């Protein structure tokens, strides 16, 4: 990549404070900025690096007022944090290759492959699968029969998509994610053994979803497991059968959602959070790291911590008592 400050400002809808011809070729964190790099400043606790940084360009909020001289050219935007995400997305899109490659992959004759789709070595695309335009399927990906994948998706190496699954547009699936494995369903028998319950449904992943490496979304027993549009799911998360995750919800690593639970929109889950099965969580619920939700959450906009999960203020009051008891 190579960009001038004026080009970056045009992409981000910002303004230039300094040399509009300043040129950068790489990104760097503001605490380690170097010549030829672009950084961003959004968190006030990093302000000292704005004055020490050797980067040629720094993206800042329009409201930022330097307290000392700044050697770098500033690109002022409404929100520096989201602006960097936009710029990174723009750079990635420019680098992306869309040539079709069929050297050592296997694509069924009945599959429908869109325009400018990339298919890597040893990838497999099954019968009657559909892949939308500009989607990139990396090496060693398995796509089962009757799978539908939208346009502008990225399917990283080792992803497995079971037959009949539905993937929307602009979805990103990271390495070794599994979409559509059987849910964990077994019926106890009188002799103490377990009989497997067959899962006949599928998974629907809507537009603009990102799912991390080694994450699993299980297909439903009947109907669909659904991840609504805009969700972001981190590495090693598990979404069980018949779950519905509301739009624009986010989950940090190792979160687990048990079967048939309904997650509202704009919910946030900290790392290793767990939710029991057959529950309903209201919109805008936040679950802290390692919390365990054992009951319905009916009122939205609340923050919960601990196991069993309780409102965070109650949790901190309880923790103060636990800590005091432990010191005796």
In a domain, residue 53? The reply is: yes
* Active-site hit among 174, 241, 266, 278: 241
pLDDT tens-digit map of 231-268: 999 999 999 999 999 999 999 999 999 999 999 999 99
Q: CATH code at 37?
A: 3.40.1390.10
**What's the number of domains the chain is made of?**
1
In a domain, residue 51? The reply is: yes
pTM: 0.81
Cis peptide preceding 292, ω within 30 of 0: no
In a domain, residue 117? The reply is: no
For residue 152, indicate whether it is catalytic. no
In a domain, residue 115? The reply is: no
Structure tokens belonging to residue 89? 């997305």
In a domain, residue 81? The reply is: yes
pLDDT tens-digit map of 169-223: 999 999 999 999 999 989 899 999 999 988 989 999 999 999 999 999 999 988 9
Where b means 16+ CB within 10 Å and e means fewer, 249-276 reads: bbbbbbbbbbbbbbbbbbbbbbbbbbbb
In a domain, residue 7? The reply is: yes
In a domain, residue 13? The reply is: yes
In a domain, residue 29? The reply is: yes
Domain of 66?
3-95
């Amino acid at each position: 990549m190579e960009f001038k400050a004026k080009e970056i400002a045009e992409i981000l809808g910002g303004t230039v404070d300094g040399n509009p011809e300043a040129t950068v070729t790489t990104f760097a964190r503001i605490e380690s900025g170097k010549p030829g790099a672009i950084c961003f400043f959004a968190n006030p606790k990093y302000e000292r690096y704005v004055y020490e940084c050797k980067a040629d360009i720094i993206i800042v909020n329009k409201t930022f007022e330097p307290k000392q001289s700044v050697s770098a050219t500033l690109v002022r935007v409404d929100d520096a944090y989201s602006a960097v995400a936009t710029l990174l997305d723009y750079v990635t899109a420019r680098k992306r290759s869309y040539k079709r490659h069929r050297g050592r992959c296997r694509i069924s004759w009945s599959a429908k492959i869109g325009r400018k789709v990339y298919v890597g070595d040893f990838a497999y695309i099954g019968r009657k699968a559909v892949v939308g335009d500009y989607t990139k399927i990396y090496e060693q990906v398995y796509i089962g029969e009757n799978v539908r994948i939208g346009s502008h998706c990225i399917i990283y190496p080792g992803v497995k998509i079971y037959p009949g699954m539905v993937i929307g547009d602009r979805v990103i699936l990271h390495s070794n994610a599994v979409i559509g494995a059987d849910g964990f369903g077994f019926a106890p028998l009188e002799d103490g053994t377990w009989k497997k319950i067959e899962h006949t449904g599928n998974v629907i992943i809507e537009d603009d979803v990102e799912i991390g490496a080694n994450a699993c979304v299980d297909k439903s027993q009947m109907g669909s497991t659904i991840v609504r549009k805009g969700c972001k799911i981190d590495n090693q998360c598990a979404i069980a059968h018949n779950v519905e995750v509301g739009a624009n919800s986010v989950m940090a690593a190792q979160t687990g959602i048990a079967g048939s639970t309904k997650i509202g929109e704009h919910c946030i889950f900290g790392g290793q959070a767990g939710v029991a099965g057959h529950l309903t969580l209201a919109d805008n619920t936040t679950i802290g790291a390692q919390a365990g939700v054992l009951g319905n959450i009916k009122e939205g906009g609340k923050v919960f911590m601990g196991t069993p999960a309780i409102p965070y203020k109650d949790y901190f009051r309880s923790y103060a008592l636990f800590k005091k008891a432990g010191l005796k």
